[in-house]
Each structure stands twice: as C-alpha cells, then as structure tokens.
Structure 1
C-alpha cells in the first residue's frame, strides 16, 4: 500500500520531532549529570498576530543559527546541527550556508562542533571537520547510512552524541 504524499510528509514530521526529543533528552541527561549545559537555539522570529489557545501568526526575522549550543564540563563550547532523514542519504546542503558559517566560526574558536544525524535507523555524530570534507572522504556531497556507521553513537533512550561508539571518529573539534 503506497503512502500519499501528505501521509509521507506527516510521517517525516513525526520522525523529526521524535529525533529532536531524543536529542533534547540527551541535553537534559548531560545537564543532570554535570557533563554539559546544552540548549536548543530558538528560531529568530517575531509574533505578528495572536489568536486564542496559544496560536499565533509569526514571521522569521533572521537566519537560523546552529540548532544547539552550550558548554561542556571544563569550559569547552559545543555547537551542532541536528538533521534526520528517512531516505538512504543525508546531503551536506541540509546545513544552510549561514549555519555553515556559524559552525565554522565556532570550530575555529575551538568548540566541539559537528552534525548529529539520523539516516533511517542509524544515529551518529559527524565531526565538523569530516562534514566539511564529505566530498574528499566519500567522493560526493552526501553520506550514506552504511558510511554513517563509523560515526554511530549509542541511543539508550536518548542520542548519546558525546560518546562515540567503538571505532567512532573521536573528537569533533
């Protein structure tokens, strides 16, 4: 039975929300454990019109920054994007030019930087240096699920992006 485009979009939206909640749970886990204070970066917008029941009409007022930013125990900054897809690949272009510029700046300032991503059922933290060298490493501007395995992280009820799996890539900055 084929899904309609509307059903497929709904499914992708639901999976995206679940993925974001798993990343948020990791941030809470790290904060409660004294490991890091990492927060989701709010989208830059302003309310244009308010409606009943908490609904409103809004307008974006600027470019989106990296999805999450914070500080690791010991003082090192962290910044990362969170991206997921139900397809067999994730394109480098899912990180916008503005986000790339921000991430580059954080990276060059010494922050721990990368992309937490999920392709189908594989969840990983790709170090920023490898994300930037995607063409050199994989011969193209996207990464496949089988290639993401080298960066895979555990998912014990949350995305444990600060802990690389056995054979993982290690430091992201």
Structure 2
C-alpha cells in the first residue's frame, strides 16, 4: 500500500502562501543554507506520484521554470474540465475515492503537495499517513492556510524534529 505524505512549508502563523498564492517568501535568500535542501531531494526520490489542487498547480506554473516533476505521475484536482497535459492528468471525480484507489497500487509514495482544500479533505478522510511540515520563521498575517475551514481535530505523533541554523523547524508527524 502506498503512503500519502503531506510535505509542505508554512509560515509561523500557518499560511502556505500569500492571499494571491505567492510563495516567494519561501525563497528569501536569507534562508539559504549552502548545500542544504531540508530533505527535499531524499523525499522526492521516495515518491512516484504527486497530488495537488488546481490553484497550487497554477502557482507552480507561475514559477517560470519547466514543470518540476516530469518523472512523476501528477494528478491535479479541479472542479472544472481541463485538458490533460504532457505531465499532468486532471481529476474531476471524487478525490477521496481516487486517492483510496491510488493508495492500493504498488510503487513509491504519494506526495500531497497542497493546497489547503485538498489537504483538509484528505486529512479529514484519514488518507494522509504522514506530515512533514517545515515552519519558516516569517509571519505573513494573512494568506492561504495550511488547512481550510472545516478541518477536523486530529492528534498526531511527532516522530522526528529537525532544527536548522536559518530558523527552519521541520516536524515529521504521523
């Protein structure tokens, strides 16, 4: 059975993006640590599938770089019809049933990229097996929350925590 991991960064006040979807605050040069990718490369090698909402997909396209996950099976959940692309399959069917079927397949892990709505839906349905959350020492004040309105209470167990010299704190929770 494949594992779904929400691997994501958030501001100290719980936002994953500014209100307009901007995530440039994540790439502030003052946070750069030479030779450190905060476990990203290792994590990426352990997944063969990505899941994301349509707004997150649009934000990724706005990075002005080639699509970053061409070697993965990429699913974008959208309420409206979109043509599949070379790297992305759009999913309009029920996300819960779709992810339940994905988890039954063999292969590497599934990366839940976000955003807040799909994070909430899959967490509430018990489909998120692990959360790797990196807190970034910045307060945004407003924006897109890590979890959308309606997230249900869930107790997690911290299985690892890492502190980085730039102030990042990464929690691995199950």
TM-score scaled by length of structure 2: 0.29
Higher relative contact order (CA 8 A, sep 6+): 2
Q: Which structure is larger by alpha-carbon Rg, 1 or 2?
A: 1
TM-score (norm 1): 0.29
